[in-house]
Structure 1
Amino acid sequence: MALCCAISNEVPEHPVISPASGAIFERRLIEKYLSENGVDPINGKELSADMLIDVKTTPVVKPKPPSATSIPAILKTLQDEWDAVMLHSFTQRQQLQTARQELSHALYQHDAACRVIARLTKEVTAAREALATLKPQAGITANPAGIPQPAIAVEAGGIANQPTEQAGMSAEVIQKLQDKATVLTQERKKRGRTVPEDLISHDSIRTFHTLASHPGLHSASIPGILSLDIHGADTSKILTGGNDRNATVFNKDTEQVVAILKGHTKKVTRVIYHPDEDLVITASPDTTIRVWNVPTSQTTQMLRAHEGAVTGLSLHPTGDYVLSTSTDQHWAFSDIRSGRLLTKVADQGSSGSALTTAQFHPDGLIFGTGTSDSQVKIWDLKEQSNVANFPGHSGPITAISFSENGYYLATAADDACVKLWDLRKLKNFKTLQMDEGYEIRDLCFDQSGTYLAVAGTDVRVYLCKQWQELKVFNDHTAMATGVRFGRHAQYIASTSMDRTLKLYGL
């Protein structure tokens, strides 16, 4: 330090002592340093100019060394000083470079450690979610809803596959199906002659407009809502299945997410909201069907009826059984209460084609399936046999829907048209031809069978019997994937690959 006399061989002209460090400084230099920094330059302690102590010394004239008596000697002394300064500068630079390398290495190690911690945190979170999903099935926690729990073994590698042995269609099950069908047929005949008083008129549907758009139900990083359903009793509750592998229950009145159902390992392509209970059924290409208790957001049953991706899902009118179709060319009928597979039937006539969709007839004794080779097939559930075929489409069947009146079946495929079939005469009596390139992803009749909604390139509503187009909604910015009517068609809901749920009404 140039200020300190210890570094110099010369005695300063006006020496002072710092009480903080005890070092001797030249007054002019130390006062200048203190005015800028306010601390002792040796140890950094606080110091002011009035604290300095003057040193009383007799002036001493130091004789010059004998070697500095000539100009060559002085030049040599200066050369030596210069060499010393250069050597010191080189040493300083070398130390600076070493320090930089060590700092760079330390920062790299810190960054790598942060990445490892983030990855481990993510894995721990995923493991906890998986454990939370497994708990109800492994019997670890009590089931607050009192719903029967399946016995699923948990192995080191995850959930062991449930036995897929068929329990068979017992006489008791068949009688239950028959009794329900008899009641529903009688009710439908009574209802068929009158239209519900609260049903929205077709003139009102023409004036429907967008009431709300909700983009926050599913992940923005994996965009797209793939499926939609509405609770039968409480039509404020809407269920969606997304590309992000989650299903979401949303209350349209409070505009709040009620539950997020996490557990599938692939996207959720089909969803059903139980009409009478707070129960949800979801299907995915991960080959599983899950039954969820909405209040607890937990899986109560996992159905492993298929070996391929599950493509179709339909709840039986009893509310106790679910129909599923798959790319494994089979349809399956399972009990959602016990988790048992009752029967599984191969589509023998499909020549290796995958089944693409399924829906029960309103009475529940027959159902329809679509195939990837353009076939629409009607099956008898009790006999487990194919009783009718509806050819005519080209391209894979994308959606089918039975009307509540029990007579009409609407089907769509990758051929830009909707075909209407009369189940009494087993023939196609009307074809709604769309524009070329139009894609159809979903079909839905309202609960009275008065209106038909089509979702795809846009969302359209038709008046049945006249098959007249009432309204077209073009609000989605991507393909519409689902459409459903609220109670008495008071509102219409649609979902899309633009990750929004839109509501239309007066």
Structure 2
Amino acid sequence: MALCCAISNEVPEHPVVSPVSGHVFEKRLIEKYIGDNGADPMNGEKLSVDMLLDIKTSPLVKPRPPSATSIPAILKSLQDEWDAVMLHSFTLRQQLQTARQELSHALYQHDAACRVIARLTKEVTAAREALATLKPQAGITAGAPGYVPAAPQPAYGAEAGPEKAQQPMEEAGMSEEVIQKLLDKAALLTAERKKRGKTVPEGLATTDDIRQYRQLATHTGLHSASIPGILSLDVCLKDTAKIVTGGNDKNAVVFNKDTEQVMAILKGHTKKVTSVIYHPDEELVFSASPDCTIRVWGIQTAQCAQIIRAHEAPVTGISLHATGDYLLSSSADTNWAFSDIRTGRVLSKVSDTSSQHVPALTCAQFHPDGLIFGTGTEDAMVKIWDLKERINVANFPGHSGQITSIAFSENGYYLATSAEDAVVKLWDLRKLKNFKTIQLDDKYEVRSLCFDHSGTYLAVAGTDVRVYLCKQWQDLVMFNDHTALATGVQFGHNATFLASSSMDRSVKFFGLQ
């Protein structure tokens, strides 16, 4: 009986047997298989070349195949081989032509990309050179006929760090002209509020609309990813499509939600930006930081137009007066300050001297008529101040932990406050008492409170974002879309949308889909 190779199924010229499986193989075939796999091809067990056993057989002469025994058969074999070579050559020419076309296209794309990059680099360089030549005050003069340029002020810590920063400005005093301006504005706003309070604003979002709000858009590219976190948010009252955010990356960013374009990146603070305000009538932005400065920015030039140095410690809160010309600020140095945004001068600076231990201030907010304002302290007290007399006229105790946010309702009657105690308290400014306490979840953190412009809704931002119906104080909707603590919340025009910022580096917009 003839031996057959287990791999080729032909009679082997040099037969060997595998002691692992007992099968016969052609020696050159099994050696190649062992070299590639190191195992017997029949059962997969480990096998090496030196384990193979030679089989001694008499030499056999293989008969020629019938196809090679006649001239016609040989000619046919040659013709078949020639045809195969020609077909293979044609395939290779096709592949070569395709490769040349792909290479030519790639080279064209590379050349076009290089041209675009070179052009953009040239434009960016030209824009930077143009910005470098602009005067810092250029951004604030527009729309401000009463502007008086202040003396040049180098950026805080620009030369040798915070220890060599300029000292806070001295008080300039509140003149009779300033006080009269405040009184006139308050009288005008009070009259308008009485008229407006009798009717619901046309187009105001209904409670059913609020309940159906869902996330419409989210933007995570406004601030640096290397230092994540957006700490503050404000919406322009005149055009609620425009917002400004302050971040951990020391920058403030102006963004248009309708065009989804960044309008300006405001760089200059040496520490994180904890508070921002968008001027309601002018293209100005205000920002505050623990670097002890308040900066006034021109949006069109993205340049700092004024630096207000009112405090010796971190600035913890800012609020713009209804006239649009004055700024209130609070600080960890226990003082609140009233400053002129046009000149950068501090008009008044006051600390509560009624007790021996004066706590640091954590936030500040003007009342809608601008004659009184509230401040929060680190010892859980909310204080109401008379701006004209510069005295503390009322205190609201009841929280535990430092005050994190305060917000006045546009109707002028209600004040909402929050602290590190997982509650939101509502105060009646006419009766000077707490009439409602909203108990939130255990360990809930509140970072921002905001009434809509009609005073109908109250938004709360912190562990999540919530909206309450005022008077009934009913919870309408809750958003858990942020993956980290929400730090700011603002209503759009007629509460038709809600904007929120978060430590997850995102700004989200909620509304009807």
Give the structure-1-normalised TM-score: 0.72
Give a deviation string over 1:179-199, Cα, whole Å, max 9, x none: 000000000011111110110
Query: Quick one: which of 318, 322, 326 aligns to 2:327?
Result: 322
Task: Give the structure 1 partner of residue 291 of structure 2.
Answer: 286
CA shift in 2, pair 1:133/1:266, >3 Å: farther
Task: Give the structure 1 partner of residue 505 of structure 2.
Answer: 499
Q: How far is the alpha carbon of 1:132 from its aligned partner?
A: 6.6
What secondary structure sits across from 1:475 in the alignment?
coil
What secondary structure sits across from 2:135 in the alignment?
helix
Q: How far is the alpha carbon of 1:349 from its aligned partner?
A: 3.8
Considering only aligned residues, what root-mean-square deviation do their CA atoms show, in Å?
2.3
What secondary structure sits across from 1:205 in the alignment?
helix
What secondary structure sits across from 2:245 in the alignment?
strand
Matched, 1:344 2:349: yes
Give a deviation string over 1:420-448, Cα, whole Å, max 9, x none: 00000000000000011000000000000
What secondary structure sits across from 1:181 in the alignment?
helix
Matched, 1:220 2:219: no
Give a deviation string over 1:363-415, Cα, whole Å, max 9, x none: 00000000000000000000000000000000000000000010000000000
Q: Work out the CA distance in 1 between the residues paired with 2:133 and 2:336.
A: 26
Query: Quick one: which of 455, 460, 463 aligns to 1:454?
Result: 460
Q: Work out the CA distance in 2 between the residues paired with 1:253 and 1:375.
A: 40
* Contact 1:152 1:160 survives alignment (8 Å): no
Query: Quick one: which of 395, 402, 426 aligns to 1:396?
Result: 402
* Amino acid across the alignment from 1:432: I
Task: Give the structure 2 partner of residue 157 of structure 1.
Answer: 159
* Contact 2:182 2:370 survives alignment (8 Å): yes
Q: How does 1:52-451 map to 2 (within 5 A)?
A: 136-137=135-136, 145=142, 148-154=148-154, 157=159, 161=166, 164-349=169-354, 351-451=357-457
Q: Work out the CA distance in 1 between the residues paired with 2:208 and 2:421.
A: 30
What secondary structure sits across from 2:424 in the alignment?
strand
Q: Work out the CA distance in 2 between the residues paired with 1:401 and 1:189.
A: 20
CA shift in 2, pair 1:299/1:142, >3 Å: closer
* Amino acid across the alignment from 2:174: M
* Contact 2:168 2:311 survives alignment (8 Å): no
* Contact 1:231 1:238 survives alignment (8 Å): yes
* Amino acid across the alignment from 2:473: W
Give a deviation string over 1:197-240, Cα, whole Å, max 9, x none: 11000111000000000000000000000000001111110100
Q: Work out the CA distance in 2 between the residues paired with 1:133 and 1:372.
A: 41
Q: Work out the CA distance in 2 between the residues paired with 1:308 and 1:433.
A: 33
* Contact 2:139 2:298 survives alignment (8 Å): no
Give the structure-2-normalised TM-score: 0.71
Q: How far is the alpha carbon of 1:352 from its aligned partner?
A: 3.1
Q: How far is the alpha carbon of 1:163 from its aligned partner?
A: 6.0
CA shift in 2, pair 1:266/1:135, >3 Å: farther
Q: How far is the alpha carbon of 1:157 from its aligned partner?
A: 3.1
Q: Work out the CA distance in 2 between the residues paired with 1:186 and 1:265.
A: 43
Q: Work out the CA distance in 1 between the residues paired with 2:295 and 2:159.
A: 19
Q: How far is the alpha carbon of 1:348 from its aligned partner?
A: 2.0
What secondary structure sits across from 2:166 in the alignment?
coil
Give a deviation string over 1:232-274, Cα, whole Å, max 9, x none: 1111101000000000000000101110000000000000000
Could you list the runs of 5+ residues in structure 2 that have no partner in the other structure? 1-126
Q: Work out the CA distance in 2 between the residues paired with 1:178 and 1:362.
A: 13
Give a deviation string over 1:130-149, Cα, whole Å, max 9, x none: x9789634x7x797737543
Which deviates the most, 144-153 or 360-369?
144-153
Q: How far is the alpha carbon of 1:353 from its aligned partner?
A: 1.4
Q: Work out the CA distance in 2 between the residues paired with 1:195 and 1:460.
A: 22
* Contact 1:136 1:143 survives alignment (8 Å): no
Number of aligned residues = 378
Percent identity over paired residues: 68
Could you list the runs of 5+ residues in structure 1 that have no partner in the other structure? 1-127
* Contact 2:139 2:299 survives alignment (8 Å): no
